[in-house]
Amino acid sequence: MSVENLLADGLKVGGVFSTGYDECDVLTNDWWTQEAGGLPKHSLLVAKPLLEGSRLVDDDEVHTGHRLPSKSTDSEDESRSSNEASHALLLRVKGPADLPDEGRLTSNRHDAIRQAITAEKDGEPTDDDFVDVLTRRELQYSGIRANVLGTFYYTENEDGNRELTFGSDVQTFFSAGHYVVHKPAPEALAWIASYPTSDSDSPIKLGEVKYTSTRIYDDRTPSPVYIDIEDFIGSKTAVFGMTRKGKSNTMKILAAAIAAGEASVGQLVFDPSGEYAYENDQDECALGELYDGGVSISTVYKFNPAEGEDDYKPLRSNLLDRNNQQIVQSYVRSLLVGETADYVGKFLSTKIPTENEIDDLEGGERNRAKWLQSAYYAVLSKAIGEDRLPDNFEPFWIKVNDNIISLVNEAADLEHTKIKGSLPLGKWNGENQIVDFWEAVEKRQDDINKAYRDEGNNKDWVDDDLANVLEMFNTDGSQSGYGKLTELRHFHNPDSEEDVAAEIYEKLDQGEMVVVDISNGREDLVERETTRIVNHVRSKSRERFRSTEKEDRTLPEIQIYLEEAHRHFEKEEYRDGESMSPYVELAKEGAKFNIGMTYATQEVSSIDRRVLSNTSNWIVTHLNSDREIKRLAEYYNFEDFKSSLKNVEEKGFVRLKTSSGEYIVPLQVDLFDREWITTNTAYSIQKREEGDDDVESGSE
């Protein structure tokens, strides 16, 4: 690309008559504007030196009183007659500018329109009602004020070749009116709007340059805008705009482009309305319907999949699996937080040993630890539902003497007997042994403790810790007991063989895409589970980052997608030094762990400034609030777009600033549809509809 290429087939629209480092005023007229298809606000223009070459002012053009002492040189400076310009300025139309004789022109225009509308006959003006041709030509001149975005100039690349590059400033400016302004042709505009991605080996098309929703005079020849998808990996991307203005459509394009790229990136998409997982009335395609060689590129998790929805994995873990003890304990804490009953506090404060901790114990300590753990799981089973204990539940084998078993059997519904010296507590012949046994112990604990001491023991069989757990079986009077934990059943999946959070992390580690459909669960339950998943991703990444093992320290690239981001990044929570929110933690240190975020919201002002200041990519569509636009205007040059962001409500009309891009580009984002998928990926589309096994090809 060269300066001449930028101007090829472009149209002259005027010349700079007043300039500075940040702004300039351009002389134009109605004819040039009409021929160029109009000059909308925010149009990108190119200003080329009128006199070619790097030397714009000759010595003999300077008044003798202004000359500096001459310096001898062994070689001639580059002549102004050089065939190629050394640079060009990139301008953006800001608004009208006054010409030096603006007062006279305005007066003449006033007189002309007054004459035309007052002299008209039969309600229609005639040619005689307008001013003469010469005067009309004079009145057609006007001024445009433009922002100077920077300079296109030549540098030498690593191969020693000259290449056109961009600097976001101006080295100097000249007052003698040396720049002619051009409106670039569609091809050149595409290069400018996509810079520096224009030179990328595998750019992704995001949309087409668009300045206004009203398009009357241009020929609508598109100028595609390409992005370097690497900008969006491992960094923060903000997608701002009102509901139904194209935020999710844009996020789908980014996610699909990353998946189709060469880099291995695990992507975790939280889907609050089901539009990422499958097609809906407003979107033609979804991420969950993309296939590569007949294999889905994503795994979709749902909170409550319906019977027959085999394509979806349940967003629940087996809470009665001892390997998931930490998971179920976190749920228990979240369900009981805020409870003031004394017995609840004792239950929460009781430390339940894990399998690994029990394995390190011996003798009586080991026996008591197994009693406590099995009693805890009995409470969980009671809360989830006695009849929901799976047949393959791994029983506890505990050591209990015969006298205690006899006392228990007197109060139990089942007959409990030892096998090879140990008492099994699980599921036998369809009966829930573990709940039956520990409920009976709770009922007879005074008798059991007395009998145990009568045998010469100096402590109770049911010690304080065990009593704290067993008290959850007591539902006398106003005490709810295990009833406070019945919501655990919503998180329980007896068929799950692994913690869902760990399973999802493994997929992310392998560079897969995971779509978590959270549209069909209760909000509070969904919030707990999604927070737990994000927390697991964060803690696992931190664990590997600190590992001394070389293999573990190779962290995967992970990108997380969040809608309604204001719920996670609210200023108050972000500033709370004690906050346990994993979203806040990732916002602070995610880049260190190779975790990026693409977050969307309509409330810019609710996002803490530190999150915004560390956001690399900005995609902004319509905002209806001066408050939100004012906050947005604090960053980059979004101040220039305030009026259009508020007044133009067109879906998908965004202003884009990427981390590698040097300036904001207004564009219409493409639809994430069959055409985009066909053009930009090798994926096929398979609709996730019951009874529909057809696969639609992504290439023709």
What integer pLDDT is reported at residue 79 of this predicted model?
47
pLDDT exceeds cutoff 90 at 435: yes
Q: Are residues 478 and 376 in the same domain?
A: yes
Stretch 365-369: mean pLDDT: 96
Contacts of 58 (CB under 8 A, 6+ apart): 80
Q: Is residue 531 part of a domain?
A: yes
pLDDT exceeds cutoff 80 at 676: yes
DSSP label at residue 10: -
Stretch 521-529: mean pLDDT: 77
Domain boundary among 467, 491, 515: 491
Q: Are residues 584 and 448 in the same domain?
A: no
Q: Which residue has the tokens 């109009």?
A: 38
What integer pLDDT is reported at residue 120 of this predicted model?
58
Domain boundary among 162, 190, 218: 190
pLDDT exceeds cutoff 90 at 1: no
Q: Is residue 360 part of a domain?
A: yes
What integer pLDDT is reported at residue 108 of this predicted model?
67
pLDDT exceeds cutoff 50 at 341: yes
What integer pLDDT is reported at residue 668 of this predicted model?
97
Stretch 133-144: mean pLDDT: 71
Least confident span in 176-185, 368-377, 443-452, 498-507: 176-185
Contact between 148 and 20 (Cβ < 8 Å): yes
What integer pLDDT is reported at residue 69 of this predicted model?
47
Q: Is residue 147 part of a domain?
A: yes
Domain hosting residue 590, numbered range: 226-316+498-681
Higher pLDDT, 19 or 72: 19
What integer pLDDT is reported at residue 202 of this predicted model?
76
pLDDT category at 77 given cuts 50, 70, 90 is very low
Question: In whole numbers, what is the pLDDT of the chain averaged over residues?
Answer: 86
pLDDT exceeds cutoff 60 at 75: no
What integer pLDDT is reported at residue 227 of this predicted model?
96
Domain boundary among 491, 517, 547: 491
Apex 493 CA angle, 380 and 334, nearest 5 = 50
Least confident span in 64-68, 118-122, 566-570: 64-68
Stretch 533-560: mean pLDDT: 87
- Is the backbone peptide bond immediately before 196 cis, with ω within 30 degrees of 0? yes
Q: Are residues 136 and 14 in the same domain?
A: yes
Least confident span in 30-34, 108-112, 694-698: 694-698
Distance, CA of 624 to CA of 620 (rounded, Å): 12
Distance, CA of 223 to CA of 221 (rounded, Å): 7
Q: Are residues 601 and 643 in the same domain?
A: yes
What integer pLDDT is reported at residue 576 of this predicted model?
56
The kind and range of the H/E element at 377 are helix 363-384
Distance, CA of 315 to CA of 501 (rounded, Å): 9
What integer pLDDT is reported at residue 61 of this predicted model?
53
Q: Is residue 692 part of a domain?
A: no
Distance of CA 266 to the CA centre of its chain: 13
pLDDT category at 478 given cuts 50, 70, 90 is confident
Q: Is residue 431 part of a domain?
A: yes
Q: Are residues 480 and 534 in the same domain?
A: no
Q: Are residues 276 and 326 in the same domain?
A: no
Q: Are residues 123 and 264 in the same domain?
A: no
pLDDT exceeds cutoff 70 at 68: no
Stretch 631-637: mean pLDDT: 94
**308-320 b/e with 16+ CB inside 10 Å = b?**
eeebbbbbbbbbb
Contacts of 588 (CB under 8 A, 6+ apart): 610
Stretch 650-676: mean pLDDT: 96
Q: Are residues 403 and 423 in the same domain?
A: yes
Q: Is residue 65 part of a domain?
A: no
Residue 525 is part of a domain; what is its CATH number?
3.40.50.300
Q: What are the beta bridge partners of residue 558?
A: 266, 595
Distance, CA of 344 to CA of 482 (rounded, Å): 10
Contacts of 193 (CB under 8 A, 6+ apart): 44, 209, 223, 225, 665, 667
CA distances from 506 to 93, 499, 503, 531, 556 (A): 50, 11, 5, 17, 10
Q: Is residue 213 part of a domain?
A: no
Strand 653-657 to 665-669 pairing = antiparallel
Q: Are residues 371 and 230 in the same domain?
A: no
Q: Are residues 586 and 659 in the same domain?
A: yes
pLDDT category at 390 given cuts 50, 70, 90 is confident
Q: Are residues 417 and 475 in the same domain?
A: yes
What integer pLDDT is reported at residue 693 of this predicted model?
41
Q: Is residue 202 part of a domain?
A: no
Predicted TM-score (pTM) of the model is 0.81
What integer pLDDT is reported at residue 70 of this predicted model?
46
pLDDT exceeds cutoff 90 at 629: yes
In the chain, the number of structural domains is 3
pLDDT exceeds cutoff 70 at 695: no
Q: Are residues 580 and 658 in the same domain?
A: yes
Least confident span in 212-221, 383-392, 604-613: 212-221
> Using CB atoms within 10 A of its CB, is residue 495 exposed (0-12), middle (13-18) or buried (19+)?
exposed
